Structure 1
Amino acid sequence: MDYTAARARAQAAEESLNLVEPVTLTSTLRHIEKLRGRKVVIQPMDGPEDQVCGLWFGLDDMDLILHARAASEMHRQQIVLHEFAHMILRHTQEELSPEDARKFFPDLDPDRVVLALKRTDFFDEFEVTAELLADRLAARIRRSRQADRQPSNFGAVFG
């Protein structure tokens, strides 16, 4: 695994997005929907959180991100940003059988599930690059929040 190359890919992917400040999770979601030309729905997942943090399903008419019920809003955001990163990086999804969809998500109509991102190794190039991009997006969101807290005349007051 070449971490330098993964960092460079994550940086290039973030820069190519041309996100407009202030960057928020919602503005990033809307930007991805526009790029993909389809709705992205984010929902909490009922199930074994110790086994799966987040999943990205390509349904017939939208993308669905399911996330574990996180201990904090920041953790939830990181899970979602990681799944966004897979979309941004155009990581390939695989066909998912209706039987597998039914087994893992009994409330989801298995006939609507077309593709899913399957992970077998959390330290492979795709996972590492996605996490690095998620970290970069999270940093952009934090910087935007900090800039919003600063008074507009900060420089005039404090020089």
Structure 2
Amino acid sequence: MDYVAAQERARTAELSLNLTEPVTLMSTHRHLEKLRGNAILIEPMAGPTDKVCGLWFGLDDVDLILHAPAASDVHRQQIILHEFAHMILRHEQEEISPEVARNFFPDLEPGRVVKALKRSDFMDEFEVAAELLADRLAARIRRSQELTAGQPGGFGAIFG
């Protein structure tokens, strides 16, 4: 794995987003929905989460991010940003079997296409690039919070 190349892919991807200040998790979420032309739903994960922090599923008309219960809002944000990063970096999803789909979506109509990003190695270049991009996005959010915190009445912190 080429770490320097992964850093460059993350930097280039962040710049290509053209995010406008102030950057928040919500503004990034809405921006990605516009770029993808799909709603992105973010939900807490039910069931055992000892092996997984976040999952990105592509259904026929919506992207769904499931996240494990997080120790803090910052940790939850990082999990979501990591899944956003896979979308931004255009990491390919693969079709999953109906049995796997039923584990997460017991009420899913059989005709819907479900795809998921499958990972077997957390140190491969896809995972590293996604985490580097998530870190860059988190840094943008922190800088925006610092810049807007000084506004009269703290409106930046309230309205994001």
TM-score by length of 2: 0.90
CA distance in 1, matches of 2:88, 2:109: 25
% same residue: 70
What is the 5 A alignment of 1:101-140? 101-103=101-103, 105-107=104-106, 109=108, 111=110, 112-140=112-140
Name the SS of the counterpart of 2:114 in structure 1. strand
CA distance in 1, matches of 2:30, 2:20: 11
Paired residues of 1:53 and 1:79 also in contact (CA < 8 A):
yes
Match for 1:66: what amino acid?
A: L
What is the 5 A alignment of 1:6-21? 6-21=6-21
CA distance in 1, matches of 2:107, 2:26: 24
CA distance in 2, matches of 1:7, 1:100: 33
- Alignment partner of 1:35 is 2:44: no
Paired residues of 1:57 and 1:113 also in contact (CA < 8 A):
no
- Alignment-derived partner of residue 99 in structure 1: 99
CA distance in 2, matches of 1:22, 1:108: 38
- Alignment-derived partner of residue 52 in structure 1: 52
Paired residues of 2:101 and 2:114 also in contact (CA < 8 A):
no
Once the two structures are overlaid, the 10-residue window that deviates more, 67-76 or 105-114, is 105-114
- Alignment partner of 1:68 is 2:68: yes
Match for 1:99: what amino acid?
A: E
Name the SS of the counterpart of 1:128 in structure 2. helix
1:103-131: CA deviation from partner (whole Å, max 9, x where unpaired):
3x154516335210010100000000000
Paired residues of 1:101 and 1:108 also in contact (CA < 8 A):
no
Structure 2: where are the runs of 5+ without partners? 153-160
User: After the TM superposition, which segments of 4 or more aligned residues of structure 1 sit over 2 Å from their partners?
Assistant: 110-113
| Aligned pairs, number | 151
Match for 1:87: what amino acid?
A: M
Which is greater in Rg? 1
For residue 101 of structure 1, report the CA deviation from its aligned partner.
1.2
